[in-house]
Structure 1
């Protein structure tokens, strides 16, 4: 299997609305598991190029590519050893340029994943920093002396388990790592660190990227005084940032992350982006107690990030009608000047079809809800096929997070197994060799080839629903008016100027008739649901949606 193509000259930037990101549908690609082109069992950039027509056919606006930079792969690319190069396992800088060119030719923007809170311990910056206490990069990472008894300087914990401090015998100090010990945290209190990261971002902007997804954006800055985190009351402990088996949840993380100085760096980052046309940014906010407020702080006005996402819909909390309504109302109240980005699944959480135990009808309904909410949307590869979480045996695990907390928490490998492209192949058309993670056998009947051309398939549903969203500007960039949320019924209006669209969702397994609110409602039958207007109002079959326009609408 060889998908390498001739070098493609990067296309000119897509000359679109600078606010293209507002309401955009962004498709996340986890490159290790998307398509292998060279037979080593690992996906790569050439494989992405080959499969981009599938993504473009969905009707999405952009792709977000998880890290492909040089890395020892202790955390599969989220431990970067060279920010300005492609890891050979994924290809070359030429392959990346070709990918940008191909994406742009298909009308797709390209968003890349920047990991700036930490690097790999193999990065030259860290190697120099640890070599002495007086070298040129001595303060580029977070170093601290031990307590008199030799223990770490404070009680901060790592998300991946244990203390967030690792002793370094070469420098005779502890260094901070919020994740793996092989992922030392950069010191954002050092101006030179900020300058170097901004130069790195400029490198990729000049190569033609259209924006950045910022990994763990609220982890950039730590408390200079290294104060202990206070305990978190048991009734507030949850598993939205870390799994419930992780003692990380026992602390209120007041000092190890989400410091006010971060906002000044984000302003510098935005100023850089504003030098280029039509660039966007979406920050990942890992904050359980104050997540929505952090999103508001990081995105308000026009001099910070464009949008952020939290874990409101990425947690195990089932999104009932009242839950969705509560999240939307709270966002409107706490972040009135901000734009949200919503997702149900990504590379870090159990796929939502499994996490919420959804059958096929429910998966489609929740996709419709996601695509009707006010905000931008991230879809994770395979979501359009209805993929469930895959079982990965312990001996096949790759994720250090899962290995650490097995068996109560099985890690992230189950959502990272390879995409199934065809059914009649044990590797699903992903690779000619043994894949880095096994292909889930239950995914093969759900492959792209199996669903392609079937108007009743989940894939066809996603294409129709994304097209329906794109056809109605109020669903893309309009306002939001909550109407009802009870008894498995969710209803809201999306508005744009004087136009209104009524959106109603029956989240039960029984037919419901819903009285229409005041207005001259005309059903829009462009959405892929068999609802209708009856004598008592809108009639919605089980797990169905209803959309109507008020009055003489375009």
Structure 2
């Protein structure tokens, strides 16, 4: 990854999932006013920006990722005035604001699709991806939906199928149509004119596909997967090379607003290139070919958390991300929380993964609650809301376990997430999350929250961590070791024990313990080794 002086390259971005952050109006669903109320807390975390997941008008078939009006706030979240207040208050606190734009598809309730589905003629006729049936009436190819079933839905008024990579209520936009691309660029510019500093772009892999609609081949390793979608190599339905042209158009719009930046979401789907290589492609900055600023990949999050697996991931990034830039993320609203997925659910594991996240080369995105060390929630089947989980339960329980409400006050109703006038919040508050509530941790100097604040504050003083190079060091399982290098030639040694058992690690010669980060600082022994406790870290200089 090429080093430059762009301030976003060392940024820490805090993801807010509005439905579950803070409910200010008492209806059991989080809202923009609740976010405004808690922005001082977010600023106290030492982050640089907030990414707010979709709050646009939506039928909520996929909880806001099915947009029916990109320029309106859904009433359950508030009003445009609330959005303006959020932007203004964030800026007052020194935080940039990224909103989550979903341009690979819309809701079936969007006026564009309502016009497109009724006729093959008219202004919006080709704004979505339509295809004729096969002679026997079957869909035009074998593409499958991420959420189950085929990726094509029949529209009798047009006598054609439309493409949907997710729910049938999320029809695929035709971003090859010049008018469609003009429209989405205008939406991006409209939000920046309101003060938004950039975007997280959802499902970038799904923006463009092979226009010949060729069948996907089977996955190279023969298998019967839980989801048929995972039995295909997604060679034709996503990540088409022309996606770079779409991203370049969006980048040009953003470049007209200095200081803005965007993060691309890269999926974990197997295509002909790896997720990391797709991240490099989507963030290429070669000459006049300027695409998005940075990307994160679900492929990294869905991998295993062993030292060897993470070492392989880091090495892959260092090999394949050249002129682009990666945003590291260990959790978000689509995956199991990292303290449960890679750790043992303990506060020690949560502290370790937060320190590791903040030590890798690239920007950082942290999901709400990770600074508290929240574990994955067990949501009773009768309370599941995620259509993805409902379809595949009990073998896959969906995404609700990472979307439960933020616990603000241990002893308050619903842990302070809502003062709901009646009934329950949209998802239950797990009893175990009460003990990790913000008010509990702010009173405990040894809490995960206190450790986050200490470390992120120290990171700000370490140019090697925010901008420096990275070189992996030899280490045996379960230790991950690397050095970060600054422009002054000094090296920062970073050692992480990714296990619940003590371990030892070799320290490079002449390295001495660093101070100020909040972790134990034992000096290396005569053999040049340090003892790492369970889920322990060590930092040194040489």
Q: TM-score, normalised by structure 1?
A: 0.92
Aligned partner of 1:464 among 454, 459, 470: 454
Q: Which runs of 5+ in 1 are unaligned?
A: 1-16, 239-243
Answer with 144-153 or 540-549: which moved more.
540-549
Correspondence 1:275 to 2:275: no
Q: 1:3 matched to which residue of 2? A: none
Q: 1:255 matched to which residue of 2? A: 236
1:531/1:544 contact within 8 Å kept: no
2:347/2:447 contact within 8 Å kept: no
Q: 2:492 matched to which residue of 1? A: 501
2:234/2:269 contact within 8 Å kept: no
Deviations 1:253-287 (A, max 9, x none): 11111111111111111111100011111101114
Q: Output the CA distance in 1 between the equivalents of 2:485 and 2:418.
A: 46
Correspondence 1:297 to 2:272: no
For the residue of structure 1 that corresponds to 2:10, the secondary structure is: coil
Aligned partner of 2:26 among 32, 39, 56: 39
Q: Output the CA distance in 2 between the equivalents of 1:305 and 1:403.
A: 34
Q: Output the CA distance in 1 between the equivalents of 2:340 and 2:308.
A: 21
Q: Taking structure 1 as reference, are residues 482 and 171 closer, same or farther at Cα in structure 2, changes over 3 Å only?
A: same
For the residue of structure 2 that corresponds to 1:91, the secondary structure is: coil
For the residue of structure 2 that corresponds to 1:319, the secondary structure is: coil
1:26/1:63 contact within 8 Å kept: yes
Aligned partner of 1:328 among 311, 314, 321: 314
Map of 1:92-103 to 2, 5 A cutoff?
Answer: 92-103=79-90
Q: Output the CA distance in 2 between the equivalents of 1:382 and 1:511.
A: 27
Q: Output the CA distance in 2 between the equivalents of 1:161 and 1:223.
A: 21
Q: Output the CA distance in 1 between the equivalents of 2:130 and 2:524.
A: 68
Q: 2:334 matched to which residue of 1? A: 348
**Displacement, 1:233?**
1.8
Q: TM-score, normalised by structure 2?
A: 0.94
1:506/1:540 contact within 8 Å kept: no
Correspondence 1:484 to 2:474: yes
Q: Which runs of 5+ in 2 are unaligned?
A: none
**Displacement, 1:48?**
0.1
For the residue of structure 2 that corresponds to 1:454, the secondary structure is: coil
Q: Output the CA distance in 2 between the equivalents of 1:313 and 1:224.
A: 29
Q: Output the CA distance in 1 between the equivalents of 2:394 and 2:502.
A: 40
Q: 2:442 matched to which residue of 1? A: 452
Deviations 1:100-130 (A, max 9, x none): 1111111111111100000000000000001
Deviations 1:14-50 (A, max 9, x none): xxx9722112111100000000111111100000000
Deviations 1:311-344 (A, max 9, x none): 24311x3222221111111111112222111111
Correspondence 1:402 to 2:402: no
Aligned partner of 2:410 among 423, 438, 463: 423
For the residue of structure 2 that corresponds to 1:539, the secondary structure is: strand
Q: 2:379 matched to which residue of 1? A: 392
For the residue of structure 2 that corresponds to 1:102, the secondary structure is: helix
**Displacement, 1:170?**
1.9
Q: Output the CA distance in 1 between the equivalents of 2:276 and 2:166.
A: 22
2:337/2:402 contact within 8 Å kept: yes
**Displacement, 1:360?**
2.3
Q: Output the CA distance in 1 between the equivalents of 2:233 and 2:380.
A: 34
For the residue of structure 2 that corresponds to 1:32, the secondary structure is: helix
Q: Output the CA distance in 2 between the equivalents of 1:510 and 1:258.
A: 41
Q: 1:265 matched to which residue of 2? A: 246
Q: 1:545 matched to which residue of 2? A: 537
For the residue of structure 2 that corresponds to 1:131, the secondary structure is: coil
Q: 1:319 matched to which residue of 2? A: 305
